[in-house]
Amino acid sequence: MEDTRNLTDEYKGMSNEQVFDELSKKRTTLEIAIENVEHDFNIGSIVRTANSFNVRKVHIIGKKKYNRRGAMCTDKYLEIIHHATINDFLKTQEGRELVAIENNTPRAKELHSKSFKSNTTLIFGSENNGITPELLEKAQDVRFIESFGSTRSVNVGAAAAIAMYEWTRQVVFK
């Protein structure tokens, strides 16, 4: 029977557990945190992108349920942890640099000028209100993605993809 899952050829024919185990052997050190993103499809999109970059973990803070269709079943191949509160999440982040991707704060600097560390957690927040002030103050660094059109920001799923790629470019491809 043909394996029709959206997998690269090296993982075709393996069980979901085998794919997870093989990916775990070469995971990056990057982690992703998603805080109270309202649109389920955006959460699924971020999870799918996290799988593409083989991130270590995805943390979902607050809202737990999301539309797994957007993740295209990639949630089966990486560790996703739910944290009911910001404090629960922060307990898992010792020794990691928390970098918030947020454009609605004076603290934010351009993403292109960031020098990423290996043990980074990228934080993404609500499409409407951004990252909560409580979590934002815990971030060691805040960056925004430069844009040149009339819209002040890109979609949170697109922002996550851009930021993950920039981290990968600097840390993995160095």
27-69 pLDDT, tens digit per residue, is 999 999 999 877 677 888 899 999 999 999 999 998 765 555 5
- Residue-level length of the chain: 174
Q: What is the pLDDT of residue 70?
A: 47
Q: What is the pLDDT of residue 166?
A: 98
Q: What is the pLDDT of residue 1?
A: 81
Neighbours of 58 (CB within 10 A): 22
By the 8 A CB rule, do 113 and 142 touch? Answer: no
Q: What is the pLDDT of residue 73?
A: 66
> Alpha helices, DSSP H only, in 15-117?
16-24, 40-52, 86-90
Q: What is the pLDDT of residue 60?
A: 92
Q: What is the pLDDT of residue 46?
A: 92
Q: What is the pLDDT of residue 41?
A: 76
Q: What is the pLDDT of residue 49?
A: 95
Q: What is the pLDDT of residue 72?
A: 56
The CATH fold assigned to 28-171 is Alpha/beta knot (3.40.1280)
Neighbours of 108 (CB within 10 A): 17
| Weakly modelled stretches of the chain, pLDDT under 50 | 70
Q: What is the pLDDT of residue 68?
A: 53
- C-alpha 85/C-alpha 81 separation (Å) is 12
Q: What is the pLDDT of residue 90?
A: 98
Could you give phi then psi for residue 156, rounded to 5 degrees? -60, -35
